[in-house]
Each structure stands twice: as C-alpha cells, then as structure tokens.
Amino acid sequence: MTRMIIAGAQLGAIQKADSRDVVVARMLALLNEAASRGATLVVYPELALTTFFPRWYMPDWNEVDTWFETEMPSRATLPLFERARELGVAISFGYAELTPEGQHFNTSIMTNRKGEIIGKYRKVHLPGHVEYDTERAFQHMEKRYFLPGDLGFNVWRNEGVIMGMAICNDRRWPETYRCMGLQGVELITIGYNTPAVNSQMSAEGQEKRLFHSDLSLQSGAYQNASFVVGVAKAGVEDGHPLIGGSIIVDPDGFVLARAETEEDELILADCDFAKCAFGKTTIFDFERHRRVEHYGRITSQTGVIIEV
C-alpha cells in the first residue's frame, strides 16, 4: 500500500478585483512550500481562481463568462501545471468551466505527478437559487450560473491510490461519498467556499457552519473508510465572510490536520492508505453488510413523501 504526504492549500480571500495571475502566484507559493515539506499532492479550494462570484447578481452573461475558463490549463494556470510537474507534485483545484458547447459548470480537476490532468468532476449538488432574491442578505446564485454536473461521481487510480473529487455542497450529501465508496475510494478531495453567515437565517453564525463542515467531512470519511481532504477558500471577499476550517480526515474520521487561520495556509498529513483496509474489510465491508433491497427509495424518490 501507499503512503503520501498530502497538503491542503487553503486560500484566503480573493477580491473581485484580483487577477488570475495574482491568485496563481499565491497558489504557486503554497505549492512550493508544500513540496519543500514533502507533499506529493496539493489540494486547493473550489473556484480557486476567482472570488466566489455566485454571490453577485449579473444579468449580463457576457459579464458572467468573464469568471469562467474556456481551457485548462489556461494561460494563467499553465505556470502552476508546469511547476507542479517540475516538483513532481499532483494537484487538484476547482474553477468555473465554460465548455466549447457553451455549458457552464462548477468544476474540479486532478493531475498526476507529471502535471497531466487525469480526472475531472463537475459539481452535482448546486445550492442557492436562480432569480435575484430580495429576501436574502446576499445572493447565492449557483443554480443560475452553473448546470448540475453531468459526469457523476467517478474515481481514478492516481499514484497507486484510488482518488475521487467532490465540491463544497456535495460534502453535505452522504450519497456523494457512498457513490465513490462503492468504487473503493481511498481519498476524496473537496474544495469549498462556504459563507460564514446564512443569507436567510441571520442567527446562524460561523461556529455552526464550521461544525457542520467538520461533521459532513468526518462522517463521509468514516462511513466509507476513506481519507477526505476539505479545503476552504476563506476570509472576507468584498465584505462577504467565508469560513476557513480546512481539514484532513483519516478513514476512522479523525482530523489529522486543521487550518487555524482564514488566510493562505498549508495543512499537511502523512497519509498511510493501508489504514483504509480495516474499515473496508470489517464494519464497512459493503458486500457483506449492505441490504440494497431496502434502499430503492434513495434513487427512485427525490423529495420527501409523507404518507403517515
């Protein structure tokens, strides 16, 4: 089995005015630090190249498209791929993808240690709303700007480890982890941009949000005997606070490393993937214990139906 030092490269705030080049320079600094500390995989947040633009109502799609990448590597990110290849470090990061067919996705890619993209994921669970909501303290228009992901939940064998990806809100849905757990996943990378306050329920503060982020990531790891790396874009973006709380979780659900700031911050853990085997062959030996004949409702029914 494989051991790997994994780095979570939390990013602090990215302002609307910050260029891709400025952000990539910050990502390169984290990459260099991670490599110097022995990491061979670096995980960046969701929408790592820009501010969390779904907080803004933009009626003009020409403006919306300025937040998207039409190719990857793009001009601005090519230095990141090239440096990662020089260092022999795999990377994973999220960005807004505009396809040649004109489709908009909230996307994440993963490379091998040669800087080659080996996996792509498009965010399935999109929170928020489509139309401008006057009741909200701020907007969350992911359902307006992105299509639901069309690639499903896949895994890839990367550097000997079965790896998968999810993005932000996906981490709150157990189906996300189980779809990859049923493929033998040993590491799931999850970038996120989570507002520190609730746009609809002002009483919900960041303590509760940090708790729910941990709860989601730790339960997903434990219930599928997999490592999980959750990495935030944190800090205050044009007056809008995002939580930090990046963590690396082991297959027993224990937190191995946690970010302490809301800035650019590296967290690292030495991950021994042999630790996945015990859970996968005992309590979460899916073949021995699951009873799929009773689970049909999970895929046949979308919302709640109350019949009692």
Catalytic residues: 46, 123, 168
Piece in contact with ligand ING (CB under 6 A), picked from 14-22, 81-89, 176-184, 186-194: 186-194
- For ligand ING, the closer of residues 181 and 195 by Cβ is 195
Write phi, then psi, for 195 (nearest 5 degrees): -55, 140
Locate the DSSP E strands across 159-246: 161-167, 187-192, 227-232, 235-237, 240-242
Give how far Cα 114 sits from Cα of 117, 152, 264, Å: 9, 25, 25
CA–CA separation, 169 and 24 (whole Å): 24
Binding of residue 194 to ligand ING (CB under 6 A)? yes
- Helix 78-87 to helix 20-36 angle (10° resolution) is 10
The residue sitting closest to ligand ING, measured at its beta carbon, is 169
Q: How far is the CB of 48 from ligand ING (least distance, A)?
A: 12
The pair of structure tokens assigned to 66 is: 């300025």
CB of 46 to ligand ING, least distance (A): 6
Task: Please tell me whether residue 111 binds ligand ING under the rule CB under 6 A.
Answer: no
122 forms part of the interface with ligand ING (CB under 6 A): no
Residue pointed to by tokens 């990448």: 69
For residue 118, which amino acid is it? I
Interface with ligand ING (CB under 6 A), residue total 8
Query: Which residue from 68, 95, 192, 284 is in contact with ligand ING, where contact means CB under 6 A?
Result: 192
229 binds ligand ING (CB under 6 A): no
Q: Is 168 in the site for ligand ING (CB under 6 A)?
A: yes
- State in angstroms the smallest separation of the CB of 212 from ligand ING: 7
According to the binding rule CB under 6 A, does residue 176 interact with ligand ING? no
Contact 267, 259 (CB under 8 A): yes
193 lines the binding site for ligand ING (CB under 6 A):
yes
The H or E element that residue 109 is part of is strand 104-111
Phi/psi region, residue 159 (left: phi>0; alpha: psi -120 to 50; beta: rest), is left
- Alpha carbon distance 169, 15 (integer Å): 22
240 binds ligand ING, rule: CB under 6 A = no
* 199 binds ligand ING, rule: CB under 6 A: no
Shortest gap between Cβ of 278 and ligand ING (angstroms)? 30
DSSP annotation string for 106-130: EEEEEE-TTS-EEEEEE-----S-S
233 near ligand ING (CB under 6 A): no
Indicate whether 280 belongs to the interface with ligand ING (CB under 6 A): no
169 binds ligand ING (CB under 6 A): yes
Closest contact distance (angstroms) between CB of 25 and ligand ING is 24
- Does 172 interact with ligand ING (rule: CB under 6 A)? yes
How near is the Cβ of 188 to ligand ING at its closest, in Å?
Answer: 15
| C-alpha span between 219 and 222 (Å, rounded) | 5
Report the distance separating Cα 180 and Cα 184, nearest Å.
7
- Of the pair 119, 245, the CB lying nearest ligand ING is at 245
- Strands 187-192 and 227-232, sheet pairing: parallel
Question: What are the residues binding ligand ING (CB under 6 A)?
Answer: 127, 168-169, 172, 192-194, 209
